[in-house]
Amino acid sequence: MYAEVIVDISASAVDKIFDYEIGELEISEGYRVLVPFGNFVTEGYVIRIKESTNYDVKKVKKILSVKDDFAVITPEMINLMHNMCALYHLKYIDVLRLFLPSEMRTGKVKSLSRVVLEFVGDKAKIKENLRKNAKNQLNLLEFLQESQKYYKSDLNEKFTPGAVNKFVEDGFLVASAEKIYRSPSFNQVDDSRHKHTDLQERAINSILSANKTHLLFGVTGSGKTEVYMSVIEQIILQGKTAIMLVPEISLTPQVLANFKARFGEQVAILHSGLSVGERFDEWKRIRLGEAKIVVGARSAIFAPLQNLGIIIIDEEHEQSYNSESNPRYFTKDVAEFRKEFNNCPLVLGSATPSLESFNKAERGEYNLIEMPVRVNGKAMPNIEIIDMLGEMRAGNTGVFSRRLLFELENCFKNKKQAMLFINRRGFSSFMRCIECGYVAKCTDCDVSLVYHKNDDKLKCHYCGKRYRALTKCPQCGSEKIRQGAVGTQRIVEELNKYFPDVKVLRMDNDTTQVKNAHQKILTEFAQSAPAVLVGTQMIAKGHDFKDVTVVGIVDADQSLYQTDYKSTERTFELITQMAGRAGRNESEGRVILQTYAPRHYAYKFIANYNYKGFYSKEINLREVAKFPPFTTILRLLFSGDNEELVRQMVKGCHNKIYDLAQKYGDDFVYYDAMKSPVGRIKNKFRYQILIRLKNENSREIIDKIYDVCDDCLNAKVSMFVEINPSSLA
Ligand code: ADP
Ligand code: ZN
Ligand code: ZN
């Protein structure tokens, strides 16, 4: 018998399937094995067992040994690997590595167990044979009860290891091992069950009645989470399992608490905030079938659950579902593959669905389920648009409009809470010399640096490198250095000035580096009033604070002017989500939106909560401009240390794509090779080929493009593929 093995080495040259002889070993598909490879030994994964090999049998080597006592990769995941490799042009091993906790591969984390002792002796008899001065043993004997079990560590502590070990040697205490799992912490809350509204009831039935993709379009506060939980409850009753994805870890404390309260030990949690031990143990509970529901961030889509009965992706429009480093993939694509394999429903939920998803629903590819009203019957909070140019004309050059200051004052006077949203971390965006226009840039990456006030440093947000802050322009020597647009730190400072007695909390990438920091900030905010939470988009989602009456969007335009075709959509999403944080309880909420472009169509639709109106306008623009979902964008990103080599390779690929474009004529809307907008990151030069294809033949053409690029590639340049990338930087 032979095994097809993928070796655990990430290099294009060995991105192949190798045959090995199985011999006497007991191996099935999905096992991790040790194999000889070249002059050394490496780990590998068995993806298929077969009777014969096409290679010279004398040259086929033997598998050395088996690593674990179970298949670490399930048959479904092997199938998924093939699908993902074909779609995104990935290496087998890079995909397999996504499926396993990294701590398993490095072998740095071990399973834990503790020793359980059962007392089996006859108390009276044992006592007769004990020496009268053996105090510890006598006390231990006194304590033990017939056929009771105890943790050895507890007994050791109470009665000394000497006494305990003596009893074990004499056979009065019989040892066995009990597995223990390190489990992530979560907030304890009560399971709040509600009588479902009609809309919720209808949504639940609709999802359970069809194994297809459903788009649950429900306004913020319409009770989507309750729908998810009820659906999962039904699926579990049918003996199946469930995956529930939430976007970022900022959102998880509340959701996790609710899931734990309803489903207890059946829930496993996977997100980047876990310790390595916790992640390893949660993964193992899932793989061994002990956990049936997985709640987690993006990577939880790879949870090795078997008999999957439903997949739910909450806040489906979220960017963070798309992996933006190698291996790049779209979580929704992966979910579609798993849905097909398991023949189960897939639910995409959002108050602001991505245009692509809503378009699919409109065309009947997805089943559209709508929940247009809040469970509490409250209207959505009023959104007021403030023209910041008008403020300037009136002599107010501060970061807060007079209206926002007035509302904040009111809010704090009534001991309520406010949230201020600013889409940028750090103190300000960049440092610029106002004499000559010099902007501080990273030496390794072609991007401007961001000023962080706490440590008075400039930081590169691409590579993390730190620099001294500018006091003097290195170009012209002027000392007139200005900071660009405002960031979270600056807002905090301003608030402290205006409202010295009010608690100000800040949540962004910088304040949430340490474990459980999100949870701490959110809990503190929930327990403080008056208080204000300042943050980046981290605070825009999911949170359900009862006393937030004012939401301020400090600079709404920031996401509007990023130069890609999705900027307007992203602005609509972010602001609508942020507005949804206000007025969730009795007290009415208001939203103050500060902008320099008050007449932009996005704001008109935002202020009226008119998603469908916005959708119609935007989808029209996309159609006219030939952007997704009407076309497919393929971005081939080439990077390497040697700029000349990278350029040559791009040129070679571009020429071959030119030939393809001649052949496929009309199917190519556009293609071009260029330097990437961020031309260098960590000293690697970046070039790209952008291609836009009509949808009809895109799959076929993309496969052809992968083939011609493979012919050009060499080991010194890497190529990454993205389909409909959200950022072209
Ligand atoms: P969404 O996810 O759609 O924004 P949530 O699921 O967070 O909405 O629900 C908002 C609030 O309404 C939560 O506090 C939730 O406990 C509550 N809720 C959900 N369903 C009901 C119901 N049927 N009756 C009363 N309250 C409900
Ligand atoms: Zn200067
Ligand atoms: Zn850098």
100, 58: one domain: yes
End-of-domain residue from the set 464, 485, 506? 485
| pLDDT score, position 152 | 84
| pLDDT score, position 41 | 94
pLDDT band at 704 (very low <50, low <70, confident <90, very high): very high
61, 152: one domain: no
Name, in order, each residue with C-beta under 8 angstroms of 52's C-beta and a sequence gap of 6 or more: 2
Measured from the Cβ of residue 123, the count of other Cβ atoms closer than 10 Å reads 13
Reading the block at residue 461, the tokens are: 């947000």
CA of 441 to the centre of ligand 3 (A): 8
Cβ(375) to ligand 1 under 6 A? yes
Query: Which residue among 222, 225, 581 has the greatest number of ligand 1 atoms within 8 angstroms of its CB, and so is best to mutate?
Result: 225
Long-range contacts formed by 508-511: CB under 8 A, 24+ apart: 508/425, 508/535, 508/536, 508/538, 509/425, 509/536, 509/538, 510/425, 510/426, 510/452, 510/454
pTM metric for this prediction:
0.82
pLDDT tens column, 346-355: 999 999 999 9
CA of 460 to the centre of ligand 2 (A): 20
User: Is the distance from CB of 361 to CB of 215 less than 8 angstroms?
Assistant: yes
Percentage of residues in the chain having pLDDT higher than 70: 93
| pLDDT score, position 250 | 47
728 within some domain:
no
- CATH number of the domain that residue 32 is part of: 3.40.1440.60
| pLDDT score, position 112 | 65
In the chain, the amino acid numbered 532 is V
Query: Which residue among 544, 546, 581, 584 has the greatest number of ligand 1 atoms within 8 angstroms of its CB, and so is best to mutate?
Result: 544
User: Is the distance from CB of 362 to CB of 101 less than 8 angstroms?
Assistant: no
559, 689: one domain: no
226 within some domain:
yes
328, 391: one domain: no
526, 494: one domain: yes
Cβ(487) to ligand 1 under 6 A? no
| pLDDT score, position 413 | 96
376 within some domain:
no
User: Is the distance from CB of 86 to CB of 707 less than 8 angstroms?
Assistant: no
Residue nearest to atom 25 of ligand 1 (CA): 194
| pLDDT score, position 249 | 54
- CATH number of the domain that residue 544 is part of: 3.40.50.300
568, 452: one domain: no
Residue nearest to atom 24 of ligand 1 (CA): 194
599, 650: one domain: no
Residue nearest to atom 12 of ligand 1 (CA): 223
Residue nearest to atom 23 of ligand 1 (CA): 196
pLDDT tens column, 360-387: 999 999 999 999 998 888 888 999 999 9
| C-alpha triplet 580, 583, 587: angle, nearest 5° | 180
225 within some domain:
yes
* Closest among 346, 348, 328 to 98, alpha carbons compared: 328
Place of tokens 């900022």: 250
Q: Cα dihedral sign for 327, 333, 338, 341?
A: negative
589 within some domain:
yes
407 within some domain:
yes
190 within some domain:
no
| pLDDT score, position 111 | 64
Rounded distance between C-alpha atoms, residue 496 and residue 506, angstroms: 12
Name, in order, each residue with C-beta under 8 angstroms of 324's C-beta and a sequence gap of 6 or more: 726, 727
Alpha helices in 437-533 (DSSP H): 488-498, 517-526
Q: Cα dihedral sign for 672, 673, 674, 679?
A: positive
Cβ(544) to ligand 1 under 6 A? yes
Strand locations in 342-445 (E): 346-350, 367-371, 382-387, 417-421, 431-433
- CATH number of the domain that residue 657 is part of: 3.30.70.600
| pLDDT score, position 182 | 66
H or E, element range at 531: strand 531-535
Ligand 1 atom with the smallest distance to the CA of 197 is 23
End-of-domain residue from the set 106, 135, 160? 106
CA of 367 to the centre of ligand 2 (A): 58
66, 205: one domain: no
Rounded distance between C-alpha atoms, residue 409 and residue 559, angstroms: 28
Ligand 1 atom with the smallest distance to the CA of 258 is 16
End-of-domain residue from the set 566, 600, 622? 622
pLDDT band at 728 (very low <50, low <70, confident <90, very high): low
47 within some domain:
yes
388, 526: one domain: yes
- Could you write out the DSSP letters of every residue in 663-678? HHGGGEEEEEEEEEEE
| pLDDT score, position 242 | 98
Which of 66-70, 180-184, 211-215, 244-248 bottoms out in mean pLDDT, i.e. has the lowest?
180-184
CA of 472 to the centre of ligand 2 (A): 8
* Closest among 583, 570, 569, 714 to 650, alpha carbons compared: 714
- Specify the number of domains making up the chain: 6
Rounded distance between C-alpha atoms, residue 546 and residue 522, angstroms: 12
pLDDT tens column, 244-295: 999 865 455 677 888 889 999 899 988 777 778 888 889 989 999 999 999 9
φ/ψ of 577, rounded to 5, equals -60, -45
Cβ(192) to ligand 1 under 6 A? yes
| pLDDT score, position 423 | 75
Strand locations in 291-416 (E): 293-296, 308-313, 346-350, 367-371, 382-387
Is it true that the peptide bond before 629 is cis, omega within 30 degrees of 0? yes
pLDDT band at 544 (very low <50, low <70, confident <90, very high): confident
Reading the block at residue 340, the tokens are: 């097909």
Domain residues for the domain of 298 are: 198-371
548, 413: one domain: yes
Residue nearest to atom 19 of ligand 1 (CA): 223
Reading the block at residue 381, the tokens are: 């909070």
Q: Which residues of 16-32 are buried (b: 16+ CB within 10 A; e: fewer)?
A: eebbbebeebebebbbb
pLDDT tens column, 481-536: 877 666 788 899 999 999 999 999 998 877 877 777 877 888 899 899 899 999 98
605, 662: one domain: no
Question: Cα-atom radius of gyration of the chain, to the nearest Å?
Answer: 30
528, 673: one domain: no
H or E, element range at 129: helix 123-129
